[in-house]
Amino acid sequence: MLLLLAPIVPAFAAEPYLPGEIYVGGDQVCFADDLFRAKWWAGPDDRPTDVDLVAQPWETPWERLQAAAPECSGLGGGNQPPIVQLSADPLNLSGGGQIRLSAAGSTDPDGDNLSYRWQQLAPESIQVRFETPNAVETYVSLPEPTATTGYLFEVQVSDGELSRSAQVTITQSRPGDTAGVCPSWDADAVYVGADLVAHAGAIWEAQWWTRGEVPGTTGDWGVWRSAPAGALCADDPDDPTDPTDPADPGNPDQVRLSDLLATEAALTDSPLMASVKASIRTLENAVVERIAPGAATNPANVQRVERLVSAADWDDFFPRRAAEYSYSNFLRGVGKFPAFCGDYNDGRDAEAICRKALATMFAHFTQETGGHTPAWPEPQWRQGLVYLRELGWSETMANGYGLCDPATWQGETWPCALFEPGHPNAGQYKSYFGRGAKQLSYNYNYGPFSAAIFGDVETLLQDPALVADSWLNLASAVFFYVYPQPPKPSMLHALDGSWEPNAHDLAGGLTPGFGVTTQIINGGIECGGSSEHLQSQNRIDYYLAFADALGVPVPEDEVLGCANMQRFDTAGSGALAIYWEQDWSRPNACQLVNYQTAFSALTPGDYVRCVEHWFDVEIIDD
């Protein structure tokens, strides 16, 4: 199951504007001591100061609420994160040799001194040494390759409080082997979706048809985007004998389905994979929909939750909740995923783990959907589940929160639905804005959630309103709790003892506890820096209140916040190899990798789909 959870800045709290981040309708930010509000979705290239540049107010998602706002004094003009520029020379290497990596073009908007930290993210099987791992520029020496290999390097740039990172892929091939070498961008050439080129020290992937548009200048949502981690170029696309060329299909290899399924079974036959699959197993919907408060036939995990949180407790914890967030829907959401508050056969205390899981989940969706209104008589920790749909959005609005272009792999894998004829927005894409307790957003999250619930990606892409109007509104929060998102572990495994941080995790401040769950949910926005962000502090406050109400002990040494905490990366123990990628060492095969692709080892049939995608094969159903 593939999760690509975009960083979303929660509404209601005015924080310093962070360049390059995503904001949603209702978010308030401070910039240059002025208070701004996002009227609708604001992308990384939409800046608050655009309000002074546009001719009409609808040309920018931002509006200025107040100049020289008191709450922004000393805040909006405060520290801004570094702007990272990363280059590598050469990008393509034949044989062994040295690579120069440079972040010399990085700048800081505030003029702060910058520090640098280099690391290798892939491959795990070959580790290289940085000559100066903490300098603005460094060199690595790659050994002679035995096959085409993609190296993924990352630099983290910090101003002492905020940090940003960038990645670059180096393609190394055997001498005389042109496979995997990315061609340089050509202004006169035509490129189509998934084409890879080298330009300005980076590898770029085309999202759709393009000619003449310069990679690196089209923005985060433009035609050229940074290539996925570990991406390697195919053979020369101009080779007329390329069998993947539609004009010259060649003779496809015949592969037996039984062989592919046997290979998939062998590659996923490990205790770790079995543990992950057990943690995300689901109950049939017909059984889920028979769950009712107090029913003797309720699954064991539901009965455990009922003992800890009664219907009266639910009313007390969430007195201002939307009616759709009913106690029955809560129990059904729990019942769909038996590992949530499930049993353990190794001596772990299932009830204690369940109490902590409930306090954690309640705290997070109170931050995501809470009223955040000090004037209400209820304390803010009891103001959760107020919002069913993201503020500013309705079911009739089109073209929101979707990477829908079929030329993108996201749009191909999780195809957006169109409004039907007769609708005011007929022929336009439906919107995948935040719905439910987790405020599930984007087609590439609705699709995987749909697959987990219904066994297909289409149901919720066609009818996203179900995430708000049915028991899925709370099941979505449980889904997000139990599913891993490599390189991040699942929140379930982060708190039940399954995830054991390695030395790299510990060096980055990643330790089991409530704080690391905030890093999992929204670390790119709320974590890092020398002090706790307001949103993270809210989560801590809510967690402590729910922990007290549910009888959850909070050890003195538990890390509750995520200040000074580095983000998860592929060197950590949470970077599980649960995605399928082309196996470059042999034909008609895919391999497990620990970076995200369109094919998940947790989804039945994705191995076969991976082979079909990457190779010209005819699969014989034997």
Which residues in 251-299 belong to E strands, given as ranges?
A: 253-256
Which residues does 423 contact at the CB level (< 8 Å), separation at least 6?
Answer: 396
Q: Do the Cβ atoms of 50 and 69 come closer than 8 Å?
A: no
Q: Which helix (H) or strand (E) holds 386?
A: none
Q: Is the omega angle on the peptide bond into residue 243 within 30 degrees of 0, that is, cis? A: no
Contact 469, 24 (CB under 8 A): no
Residues sharing a CB contact under 8 Å with residue 527, sequence separation 6 or more, in sequence order: 518, 519, 533, 536, 562, 563, 565, 567
Contact 142, 170 (CB under 8 A): yes
The CB density around residue 114, as the number of other CB atoms within 10 Å, is: 16
Q: Cβ distance 185 to 204 under 8 Å?
A: yes
Locate 157 and state its tokens: 């740039």
Cα gap 581→123, rounded to integer Å: 13
C-alpha–C-alpha distance, residues 342 and 214, integer Å:
52
The token duo for 493 is: 């495994």
Angstrom distances, CA of residue 76 to CA of 17, 108, 468:
7, 16, 34
Closest CA to 478 of 320, 275, 281: 281
> Which one of the listed residues 264, 306, 368, 532 is annotated catalytic?
368
Q: Decide if 368 is catalytic.
A: yes
C-alpha angle with apex 298: 294 to 299, nearest 5 degrees? 140
Q: Furthest-apart CA pair in the chain: how many Å?
A: 74
**DSSP reduced 3-state for 613:** helix
DSSP string, 166-182: EEEEEEEE-TT--TTPP
DSSP 381: G
Catalytic residue positions, numbered: 368
